């Protein structure tokens, strides 16, 4: 079985397991790690993902993989994780889950926009840019990135 076929089979097998737990499958990565393979399953939800959920769903994912023999006979290490802040914002749910966060995205017409996500739906996103709300359709934006903020302006104002 080729790498893409294995990836597709694993994703197809895991989506219903994760959906039952209220999670979306964001990515499946299989990488060699010495004599073993590392299977990284990236999950997310509108409410975020906590460690208890990761622990519970890891057991369910492992059981589903073993029952279907999706990873074959070679040993592997399973890692279930949530996406980091470096995950690109490419789908409406990514933008929706970034409400309140500062993001940067290239504009398809040239340039870029930096603003705070105030709303997002299936058609586009509203960004607060320089104190004003601006609405962008997803087709107007490239892959967005969440900007890491060590100290938000609102937090700084409250500390004064």
Whether residue 151 sits in one domain with residue 97: yes
Number of domains in the chain: 2
Read off the CATH number of the domain in which 43 is found: 3.30.300.70
Residue 19 lies in a domain: yes
Whether residue 118 sits in one domain with residue 69: no
Go through 36-53 and write b for each residue having 16 or more CB atoms within 10 A of its CB, e for each that does not: ebebebbbbbeeebeeeb
Whether residue 76 sits in one domain with residue 8: yes
Read off the CATH number of the domain in which 143 is found: 2.30.30.100
CB contact at 8 A, 149 and 155? no
Burial class (CB in 10 A: 0-12, 13-18, 19+), 10: buried
Q: Which residues, other chains included, contact 75 with Cβ-Cβ below 8 Å and sequence gap of 6+?
A: 35, 36, 37
Model confidence at 25, pLDDT cuts 50, 70, 90, reads very high
Token digits for 97? 């889950």
- The range of the structural domain enclosing residue 154 comes to 92-159
Of 37, 55, 81, the residue at which a domain comes to its end is 81
Model confidence at 4, pLDDT cuts 50, 70, 90, reads confident
Of 81, 107, 133, the residue at which a domain comes to its end is 81
Whether residue 63 sits in one domain with residue 20: yes
The pTM for the full model equals: 0.75
The pLDDT tens digits for 5-19 are 888 899 999 999 999
Supply φ then ψ for residue 82, to 5 degrees: -100, 160
The pLDDT tens digits for 53-64 are 999 999 999 999
């Amino acid at each position: 079985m080729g790498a893409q076929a294995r990836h597709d089979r694993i994703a197809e097998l895991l989506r219903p397991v994760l959906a039952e737990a209220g999670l979306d499958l964001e990515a499946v990565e299989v990488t060699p790690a010495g004599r073993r393979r590392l299977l990284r399953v990236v999950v997310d939800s509108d409410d975020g993902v906590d460690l208890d959920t990761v622990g519970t769903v890891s057991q369910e994912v492992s059981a589903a993989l073993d029952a279907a023999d999706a990873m074959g006979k070679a040993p592997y290490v399973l890692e279930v994780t949530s996406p980091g802040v470096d995950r690109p914002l490419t789908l409406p749910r990514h933008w929706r889950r970034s409400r309140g966060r500062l993001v940067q995205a290239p504009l398809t017409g040239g340039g870029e926009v930096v603003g705070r996500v105030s709303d997002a739906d299936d058609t586009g996103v509203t960004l607060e840019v320089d104190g004003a709300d601006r609405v962008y359709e997803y087709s107007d934006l490239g892959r967005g990135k969440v900007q890491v903020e060590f100290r938000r302006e609102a937090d700084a104002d409250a500390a004064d």
